[in-house]
Amino acid sequence: MRDSEADLRHLIDWGRARGTRFAVRLVKGAYWDYETIKSRQNGWDCPVYFQKPESDVNFETLTRLLLENESIVTAAFGSHNVRSIAHAQALADELGIDRSSFEFQLLYGMAGPIKRALVEMGYRVREYCPVGELLPGMSYLVRRLLENTSNEGFLRAKFAENVSATELLRDPNQLVRRDGPGSATPATTATPVANEDRHRKNGASLDTAPGDTYRNSPLVNFVYKESQDKMRAALREVRGRFGEKYPLVIGGEKLWTDKLTPSVNPSAPKEIVGYVPEGGIPEAERAVKAARAAFRKWSRTPFEERARLLERAAAIMERRRYELSAVEVLEVGKPWAEADGDIREAMDFCRFYAAQMRRFGRPRLTQHVPGEDSYQHYFPRGVALVISPWNFPTAILCGMASAALVTGNTVIMKPSEQSIICAAMLMQVFEEAGVPPGVLNFLSGHGSVIGAHLVDHKDIDLIAFTGSREVGLKIWESAGITRPGQRELKHVVCEMGGKNAMIVDSDADLDEAIVDSIYSAFGYQGQKCSALSRLIALEENYDRVMERLLSAAASLRIGNPEEPGIVVGPVIDEAAYRRILDYIEIGKTEATLAYQAKDVPPHGYFVPPTIFTGVKPNMRIAREEIFGPVLSVLKVRDLDEAIEVANGTDYALTGGFFSRSPANIERIKAQLEAGNVYINRSCTGAIVGRHPFGGFKMSGGGTKAGGEDYLLQFLLPRVVTENITRHGFAPEETQQYRDEFLWPKR
């Protein structure tokens, strides 16, 4: 690890300060693949060295550090590399350290000659071997096997390739490639960066994986103090402006009404994060007129300009990142990492949809035909109404709005009443990015008043909705009615709830299954449409699953999400608080309360994480979306029953499966009814471009936010065919794409 030297120095200082002798075991290369993979997945700087000799150099540096501090720390050198071992020996001799005050550690059954030599030379040698259950032990051995047989590993070089002693004992410093050790990329992973070269100037090839057309923003890594400090500062700053008022924005004008809607901190409901004016029918009408008036020009703006608007918005969010996250922590009770993830997702939506629009924007040849050109391209639909929920207050609002904008529609944003400050921030971002007046309008007010009014409006062509099943079905129904003067059949993008199941197979790796299930069920208080709600465990290992599940649940950190490391904060408001507690009461009558957290904060809308067992598929807590930190566990006979139970609800949003059986995994891949199926990982945390998100059945209309088809929802296809035969003559070749059909400047 790159920061191991700093960590070791810190440890030694600490040990000296306490005056307590302690032991340190020095190893290298363990979980190297895991670390490089995870860091690449998250877009983080890689914490391990990319070059094997760099690790060897570092090992020697730390060896010196340990031996030089022999007075307080007992060193154990875990390595099979004779150079590392010899270096430790030589250094100990040089420093005059007794051979009995440190030790070498080698794996049982490996590198016998080295061990024998060390013992003969009078060194302390500890042999170690895995003990415990068979399956986890096997996976440990497999990892060790892979690591120890890696192309760059010492054991392979020494015992399989007969590399010379001189070579094996060479100073690793001489082997480090100096052309940028930090920038070298690991050879064992496919990189999106490498794919970038293949992209064309004006949008990637259609054969490129859609998510490779752009790069996801990295998540903030809150293990670093610098990140923590920034977040604390941002929280202070946002606290400092509690109670500020943010205007509606319609047609480019800032608008105030007679009444202000307060938005409160769910961790401390007496605190008012800010106010936004309550819009009514007049403001709604004004918004429609502004959006309609702006449509003609915006629809004819080149897609490249629209794409750049989104990219500028993403850059502004990047700059204001901690501040925007802090608003989420305080307005909707998101833990730090969850809030940061939401801002990250908002930026990703902007950049991904910009990249996608560069693909859809260019008219595409339909077929090569001599003498005739036919190109398919897209028109925007018109005025889009965006109705968004509070649980991903920036990302979902931004995703739907940016998709509508980049495709050339004009937009009215109607955010949830619980997250109006986050929405006001997003409006600020787009204003700064230069969205023209009327193209994006920010309207707040009661959904039952202005939401319903706009959904029914003849001048709304498109509704993008994410929220509850109840409201979604109402919108779907109302949008079916074509009213006098309406231009287009009203198109609805409808994403609703879930009742998501995770199946834990009898051979599942419980180390992973339990951690990921707990996080999926209780992360952000279970207030995600993707959250795990039903854990389905097979009879065969039900007891083991439950034992570990309950103890893992007990380790959940519950509290005010302003503090770092909190996983479970408050639910959004009093109505949610009461509804979830009611469900817990229902659960108590229907099933068995297996776990409920104690000591939740007394003020604020804190609901204790709760687990029910003995749940049957027909019970209400197994069928209805609770949207809170409540997990139902269902015991099933076998995988057949597990799939039947998992598929047996009205919803089909996310679903998960933990298993080591390739056949069972393949079965789940084919049969689990969910828009997003996750194998051997958590069932929340979809990433834009990587995990196009959305479900079917009563979870949604079959759209995928952050997916390659998503923008099509906001567009109308159009084909332009031209007879290019000119009195018997036709050009030879037709180009696959043309830039755009250009609106003349007049």
Please identify, using beta-carbon distances, which residue of 34 and 108 lies nearer to its own copies: 34
Determine the interface stretch with its own copies among 229-237, 539-547, 549-557, 692-700 (rule: CB under 8 A): 692-700
Residues in the chain: 746
**55 is a contact residue toward its own copies (CB under 8 A):** no
First to last CA, the chain: 62
d(CA 549, CA 547): 6
**665 is a contact residue toward its own copies (CB under 8 A):** yes
**207 is a contact residue toward its own copies (CB under 8 A):** yes
Please identify, using beta-carbon distances, which residue of 29 and 279 lies nearer to its own copies: 29
Catalytic residue among 495, 562, 625, 673: 495
**Cα–Cα–Cα angle for 108, 110, 113, nearest 5°?**
115
Neighbours of 566 (CB within 10 A): 21
- Identified binder of its own copies from the candidate list 202, 228, 261, 374, rule CB under 8 A: 374
- Identified binder of its own copies from the candidate list 15, 16, 25, 31, rule CB under 8 A: 31
Please identify, using beta-carbon distances, which residue of 109 and 662 lies nearer to its own copies: 662
**Cα–Cα–Cα angle for 333, 335, 340, nearest 5°?**
110
Determine the interface stretch with its own copies among 261-269, 312-320, 341-349, 695-703 (rule: CB under 8 A): 695-703
Q: Which residue, among 437, 438, 478, has the nearest Cα to 458 in the 3D structure? A: 478
User: What are the two backbone dihedrals, phi and then psi, of residue 14, each rounded to the nearest 5 degrees?
Assistant: -65, -45
For the question of residue 683 being annotated catalytic, the response is: no
Render the burial of 399-412: b for 16+ CB within 10 Å, e for the rest.
bbbbbbbbbbbbbb
485 in the Ramachandran plot: left (φ > 0), alpha (ψ -120 to 50) or beta? Answer: left
Side-chain-side CA neighbours of residue 29 (13 Å): 24
- Identified binder of its own copies from the candidate list 38, 126, 578, 637, rule CB under 8 A: 38
**499 is a contact residue toward its own copies (CB under 8 A):** no
CB of 421 to its own copies, least distance (A): 32
Please identify, using beta-carbon distances, which residue of 197 and 729 lies nearer to its own copies: 729
**368 is a contact residue toward its own copies (CB under 8 A):** yes
- Identified binder of its own copies from the candidate list 151, 366, 551, 592, rule CB under 8 A: 366
CA 621 to chain centre: 27
| CA 377 to each of CA 206, 298, 449: distance values in angstroms, whole numbers, following the listed order | 14, 17, 37
CB of 342 to its own copies, least distance (A): 20
Cβ–Cβ under 8 Å, residues 254 and 247: yes
CA 161 to chain centre: 43
d(CA 321, CA 124): 53
CB of 274 to its own copies, least distance (A): 36
71 in the Ramachandran plot: left (φ > 0), alpha (ψ -120 to 50) or beta? Answer: alpha
Beta pairing class for 410-414 and 383-387: parallel
- Identified binder of its own copies from the candidate list 289, 579, 620, 691, rule CB under 8 A: 691
Task: Restricting to residues 96-155, name those near its own copies by CB under 8 A.
Answer: 139-140, 142-143, 146-147
- Residue type for position 60: E
- Identified binder of its own copies from the candidate list 192, 218, 601, 648, rule CB under 8 A: 192
Beta pairing class for 491-495 and 248-250: unpaired
CB of 62 to its own copies, least distance (A): 21
d(CA 14, CA 8): 10
Determine the interface stretch with its own copies among 253-261, 362-370, 416-424, 583-591 (rule: CB under 8 A): 362-370
CB of 699 to its own copies, least distance (A): 9
Determine the interface stretch with its own copies among 199-207, 312-320, 612-620, 622-630 (rule: CB under 8 A): 199-207
569 in the Ramachandran plot: left (φ > 0), alpha (ψ -120 to 50) or beta? Answer: beta
CB of 734 to its own copies, least distance (A): 6
**670 is a contact residue toward its own copies (CB under 8 A):** yes
Task: Restricting to residues 238-257, name those near its own copies by CB under 8 A.
Answer: none
Lay out the site mask for its own copies across 553-582 (x = CB under 8 A, - = otherwise). Answer: ------------------------------
- Identified binder of its own copies from the candidate list 476, 581, 624, 647, rule CB under 8 A: 476
**736 is a contact residue toward its own copies (CB under 8 A):** yes
- Identified binder of its own copies from the candidate list 119, 209, 233, 575, rule CB under 8 A: 209
For the question of residue 529 being annotated catalytic, the response is: yes
Determine the interface stretch with its own copies among 169-177, 277-285, 481-489, 592-600 (rule: CB under 8 A): 481-489
Sign, CA torsion 366/367/373/374? negative
**618 is a contact residue toward its own copies (CB under 8 A):** no
In 419-550, where do the E strands start and end? 440-442, 462-466, 491-495, 500-504, 532-538
Catalytic residue among 529, 562, 625, 683: 529
- Identified binder of its own copies from the candidate list 6, 160, 169, 369, rule CB under 8 A: 369
Q: Which residue, among 663, 690, 662, 660, has the nearest Cα to 676 in the 3D structure? A: 690
**702 is a contact residue toward its own copies (CB under 8 A):** yes
**742 is a contact residue toward its own copies (CB under 8 A):** yes
Cβ–Cβ under 8 Å, residues 486 and 446: no
Determine the interface stretch with its own copies among 61-69, 116-124, 590-598, 700-708 (rule: CB under 8 A): 700-708
CB of 496 to its own copies, least distance (A): 9
Task: Restricting to residues 377-406, name those near its own copies by CB under 8 A.
Answer: 379, 381
Please identify, using beta-carbon distances, which residue of 173 and 189 lies nearer to its own copies: 189
DSSP for 407-421, written as a single string: TT-EEEEE--GGGHH
Q: Which residue, among 512, 493, 518, has the nearest Cα to 693 in the 3D structure? A: 493
Determine the interface stretch with its own copies among 278-286, 553-561, 601-609, 722-730 (rule: CB under 8 A): 722-730
d(CA 359, CA 354): 9
Task: Restricting to residues 428-457, name those near its own copies by CB under 8 A.
Answer: none
Residues annotated as catalytic (active site), given as ranges: 495, 529
